[in-house]
Structure 1
Amino acid sequence: MNIVYDSFAEFNDNTKGFEPALAKKWTVNGDMMTVSLRKQTWHNGDQVTANDVVVQYRLAKYEGDLVWNYLDAVTAKDDSTVQFKLIGELNPTVIKRYILPTRVHAPAYVFKEYLNKIENASEGDERDKAIANLLNYAREKPTGNGPYKVDKTTNSKFELSVYKDHPWADDISVKNYEFKYASGNQDRWASLSSGNIDGYGSTYVPPDVYKSLPDSIREVNFTQYADFALVFNHDDEDFGKRKVRQALAHIIDRKTVANNVGPRTRKPIKVPTGTSPFATKKYLPSSVVDSLNKYETNEEKATKLLQEAGYSKEGNKWVRGDGKPLKAPIKVDSGLSDYVSGVQTIVPQLKSFGIQAELKTIEGVSLSKQIRNSDFRLQGDSWGEWNESYPFFDYRSAFVSQDMVEWRNLPDQVTVPWPPENPNGEKKVKPSKMVIELSETTSKEKQQKLLGQLAWIYNITLPKLQMSERMDQAWINEKDWDVPSNDEDVMGVRFPAFWAVKTGAISPK
């Protein structure tokens, strides 16, 4: 709960910067990031110290936290100063996005014993057992450090009150807070419709329910910088072919798909760059973006691409070189109703073009096992790094992540027209290497060049076919509260029911 625990800083979608919280300042100089903690105590009265942070990070190393791909060591310079020794001079935007959202969850003494056992254990079974003991440990009474402390818990709710020694305590107008249990979206929608709730964080509300909400319920939207995509098995005998993927991109009407996935909350991807429309505009070279294939619906182009890939049309059906029909079974998690709607929209579009498409809904756990075993041909899933506006994370997800490389069999090296914008030949490139270079360069000029190259490669090879971008919905009931307008800076942190309350921006009428 982000009102019980403070992060170093919170990202603000309105300003596109970080808002200080537990950290009062931070710097990145060379191969060192330094975070200075403000004076703050745990809810038991103990001081929050740099050593608390050090223990948490050292434990995270054994839990496989990706941040340790970029860290050499984490140490306490003094009680209020944490030093993150980097593996070298790194892209400061990347390292800040990794470290600043950190929530410090416990005083050092809570987990110090576990850390000592792990670090003193020999490699192999002894260390694995020590790590397993850590992962299985459940604290009965966690101690927070945020502006609200937990007073009481029941099966139906958490009761919280302002922690009087928190630095923001005097500014907070909402002295008591309740988290009520909701069994699912139906419960949440009923609470909003009746006006019996003051706010929700991320809660999807369909158009029909939205129309029934009282006038006092205000919606606050946050771009999630990710959403629905058609995902390919790159080892597949059909969809492992680049021209087949490109043909599908020209067949599928992304605008219709986006509208059916979420009529009020989705926007179609106009140009598949592998990152969000915001990041495309802010970070990618415009000259590269202007030269990319928009993959507008065009049956002539799709036909030409399939023919060049060795397929032909017999009657109204596309067939492979061996005479067998081109089939497109698309698996999707049955519990993701919006993604199911997306696949339900894609299937008839492909069928109309002559491809034997089929929707296959599968329970989530079973589908995850199948994906890990590469037991799929096409999947309705997601693209991008949720809630992350800097494109490095999208390209890391697309070109480096385990689920793409090992489960979806993305090749490490591809041949593409080169250079971007005005190619005069072809070149073998390794996008995963470029992603690593992007994380390691401090030159903004080189960062932009690498981002342009990655967008170019993504647009040509289509690791995934982006369909839509999602807007997250948060809710505030203004009936009893004075709430800032949505465009004010304080409303740009996820989510107003938490951040705007704990910073004192929301007050009783």
Structure 2
Amino acid sequence: MSKKIKKFIALLVIVFFTAGIFVGCGQSNSTQQESQEAKQQEEVKKTGELRLATDWPYPFHGNPFGPGGIGGAWWFAYEPFAYYIPQTGEYIPRLAESWKVEGNKVTVNLRKDAKFSDGEPFTSKDVINTVNLIQAMWQWPYDIESVEAPDDNTVIFTLSKTASSSFVHTLLTDGAMASLAPVHVYGDFAKSAQEVADLGKKIFYLQTEGKTVPEDMKAEYDKKSDELRKEVNDFSPFKTLGKLPVVGAFEPVKVTQSEMVLEANKYYWAYPQMKIDKVVFKKWSSNEFVWASLISNEIDAAHPSMPKDVVEQLSTLNPKLNVLTVSDLSDIALVFNFKKPLFQDLNLRKAIAHILDRDKIRDVSVWQANSYENYADGVLKSMEAKWVTQDTLQKLTKYNTDVAAAEEILKNAGYKKVGDTWQQPNGQPVAFTLSVYGPHNDWVLAAKEVVQQLNNFGFKVEIKLIPEGMRDQVMRSGDYDVAIEFGSAWWGYPHPLTGYQRLYDGDVSAITNFPAKDKYQTPWGELSPYDLTLELQKNLQDENKAMEIIQQLAYITNEYLPVIPLYEKVLPIYYNDGYRVKGWPAEDDAIWSLAAGGIERVYDLLITTGKLVPAK
């Protein structure tokens, strides 16, 4: 056993000793200990309890608009209209029974059997009040122009002219959209919230149209907004009401600095299916504490970063502990500043793609990440099989590590190697700086490996750390040559559209200045990735047309390399199977893909569908 593992086990013992987890530290009778453990397990089985780790504000106020919201209890307490499974593209109805989209109107039919944990019915009035309050408090989402309630179980959203077609996904799946501010709890703020929301939308729409906002309108908005924000932020349902009425499956009932206890909402529409009636959160004080809690069965599931050697010892440390990884819906990439003439040369970018050993970069940076060993098509590696056809893949250049191929590309383009240094066709050395955000340690490790590999090849590359708090300023000002950054990311709407928008008309486009509006030669003729992205957005509901456009975007992205993806970020999930609970899905079950952006949704779905049950 390595010294590192021995130290870790010693740390585990210390952590639990100081936390008071070991019962009777002077007790040495193994029979008594076994009896105590058996008794504890029996109690757990009776209560149907799931233990997790998270963070929360303390003192706990129970106000989702207050500092820290309600912490990790969010997805247990606030249910969206639907869950979305990225791996399959399936929507699972929750507070909505059904919905339909007609032009700019979205009609949502609410569950008639949904109730808050205090027994109050959930109705369309709660949705309207919630939308008004989040628009007033968060100045979002102004994509919703208005909300109507023809009856208690129907809500009609009218979307603004500027709302993207993907906003419907946000409307259906965002946990804040449906039930954050029930009327019987936040009714005192309803009138003011609607006034502030309406004013905010008027100002936003005027600004969007390039019109001048009257000063008296801005002054009125600022005054009313400040007053409402103070009143809402001062409100503590947990203190004032002595409870936090929620429409979700679990309600926070007891909160201390070290533990938050949630009990099942007995009025919840799926309560009869639930076999787990309590969720206990331990305070996520450090990764080391969470490791120890998982290994000792103190908690049942979590997603900490663990060293490779610790993970390799898990089966010995705790045979019931399992691990899997799911996509975090983003990748880390090498991005180029296209204002620099050096990187306007496609041959150089293709050579770099062949020089880099991306598996090694992944191993030294985030060892559990998914590797991009062949392609750079802009689709997340874990989603490639779903979105990029085999016919398209056969058209794409494979960027496997191949130093000889890189040399041939450069020589054919007029580069030459003089001594140990490659020179450009103009005789200047291939020299540049790779910038990376200093506080992101995994990015720094990746950058050091990239620099080493490129220098070994014969380029002159130096690393430059971006100071804390300066990342956006440096990247958006163009004060870099090459950098480590998020590349394709599917945050918000897990679909290729989101990634391509980011590359060709979003955050990455803004920092790289890749000429996305230019037309590029493809098997389908000359096409512009910017135009294709707009066309994809318009054709999302036409699956065949959307797939055709995705193939074209994948081709352009792979062949013209606006970025070079290094690895896909993943979320490692550790779970105890059979100690306190059982019924976890298979590792390849698509339900795990719901974890990105809110892993508690996975636990909530497994409990409320009756799949996760007490261990027998």
Interval containing the TM-score (normalised by the shorter chain): 0.7 to 0.9
Count of residues in Structure 1 that have an aligned counterpart in Structure 2: 497
Identify which range, 340-349 or 330-339, moves more after superposition. 330-339
The residue that corresponds to 1:469 in the other structure is 568
Write the mapping of 1:66-465 to structure 2, written as runs, cut at 5 A. 68=143, 73-85=146-158, 94=166, 96-103=168-175, 104=178, 105-107=180-182, 109=187, 110=189, 112-120=191-199, 123=213, 125-126=218-219, 127=221, 138=233, 140-141=236-237, 143-200=245-302, 202-213=303-314, 214-306=318-410, 311-320=415-424, 323-386=427-490, 389-401=494-506, 403-420=507-524, 427=526, 429-441=527-539, 442-465=541-564
Write the deviation string for residues 447-504 of structure 1: whole angstroms up to 9, x where unpaired: 1221122112211222221122233222222312222342567666434434323443
Query: C-alpha separation between the residues in 2 aligned to 1:451 and 1:489?
Result: 22
SS of 2:550 mapped into structure 1: helix
Q: Which residue of 2 aligns with 1:7?
A: 80
Gaps of at least 5 residues in structure 1 are: none
State how far apart, in whole Å, the 2-side matches of 1:128 and 1:304 are: 62
Q: C-alpha distance in 2, partners of 1:282/1:178?
A: 37
* Structure 1: distance between partners of 2:427 and 2:225: 54
In 2, distance between residues paired with 1:144 and 1:32?
Answer: 28
- Identity of aligned pairs, percent? 25
Per-residue CA distance 1:342-388 (angstroms, 9 max, x = gap)? 22221111011111223334444222332232222222122222466
CA drift at 1:116: 0.9
Structure 2 CA distance for partners of 1:229 and 1:492, relative to 1, 3 Å: closer
SS at match of 1:342: helix
Secondary structure, counterpart of 1:145 in structure 2: coil
Tell which structure's C-alpha radius of gyration is larger: 2
Distance 2:531 2:397 in 1: 24
Of 125-134 and 264-273, more deviation after overlay is shown by 125-134
Aligned letter for 2:434? I
Specify whether residues 306 and 159 from structure 1 end up closer, same or farther in structure 2 by C-alpha distance, changes over 3 A only. Answer: same
Q: Is the 8 A contact 1:285 1:449 kept in 2?
A: no
Say if 2:581 is the partner of 1:481: yes
**Structure 1 residue 180: Cα displacement:** 1.8
- Specify whether residues 325 and 76 from structure 1 end up closer, same or farther in structure 2 by C-alpha distance, changes over 3 A only: farther
Displacement of 1:106: 1.7
- With over 3 angstroms needed to count, the CA separation of the structure-2 counterparts of 1:181 and 1:468, relative to structure 1, is same
Aligned-partner Cα distance in 1 for 2:522–2:490: 30
Shift of 1:58: 5.6
Q: 2-side partners of 1:143 and 1:34: how far apart?
A: 26
One-letter identity of the residue aligned with 1:332? V
TM-score (norm 1): 0.86
Q: How far apart are 1:210 and its partner, in Å?
A: 1.2
**Does the C-alpha gap of structure 1 residues 64 and 279 become closer, same or farther in structure 2, counting only changes over 3 Å?**
farther
User: Aligned AA for 2:576?
Assistant: N
CA deviation map 1:32-78 (0-9, x unaligned): 4322111323345443333433454466667565782xx66543332
Contact 2:106 2:156 in 1 (8 A): yes
CA contact (8 A) 1:3 1:502 kept: no
Give the alignment's TM-score, normalised by structure 2: 0.72
**Secondary structure in structure 1 of the residue aligned to 2:173:** coil
Distance 1:51 1:408, change over 3 A: farther
- The answer for unaligned runs of 5 or more in structure 2 is 1-73, 204-212, 238-243
Is 2:365–2:443's contact at 8 Å kept on the other side of the alignment? yes
Q: Which amino acid aligns with 1:218?
A: N
Equivalent position amino acid for 1:417 in 2: Q
Structure 1 residues 355 and 67: CA distance shift in structure 2, 3 A:
farther
What displacement does 1:395 show? 0.8
Return the alpha-carbon distance in structure 2 between the equivalents of residues 480 and 474 of structure 1. 17
Q: How far did 1:80 drift? A: 1.8
Out of 392-401 and 229-238, give the one that drifted further: 229-238
Distance 1:430 1:73 in 2: 35
Give the whole-Å Cα distance in 2 for the aligned partners of 1:379 and 1:346: 10
Provide the rounded CA distance (Å) in 2 between the counterparts of 1:304 and 1:497: 52
Kept in 2: contact 1:255–1:268 (CA 8 A): yes
Q: CA RMSD in A?
A: 3.2
Aligned mates of 1:66, 1:243 — CA distance in 2 = 43
Q: 1:232–1:463: 8 Å Cα contact kept in structure 2?
A: yes
From 25, 34, 57, give the equivalent of 2:107: 34
- 2:369·2:567 contact (CA, 8 Å) conserved in 1? no
Selected match of 1:53 from 127, 131, 137: 127
**For 1:358 and 1:66, how far apart are their aligned partners in 2?**
43
Could you tell me how far apart the structure 1 residues matched to 2:369 and 2:301 are?
19
* Aligned 8 A contact 2:437 2:466 in 1: yes
Residues 82 and 340 of structure 1: is their aligned pair in 2 closer, same or farther, counting only changes over 3 Å?
A: same
Match of 2:3 in 1: none
Q: Tell me if structure 2 keeps the 8 A contact 1:225–1:275.
A: no
Pair 1:309–1:251, CA change in 2 (3 A): same
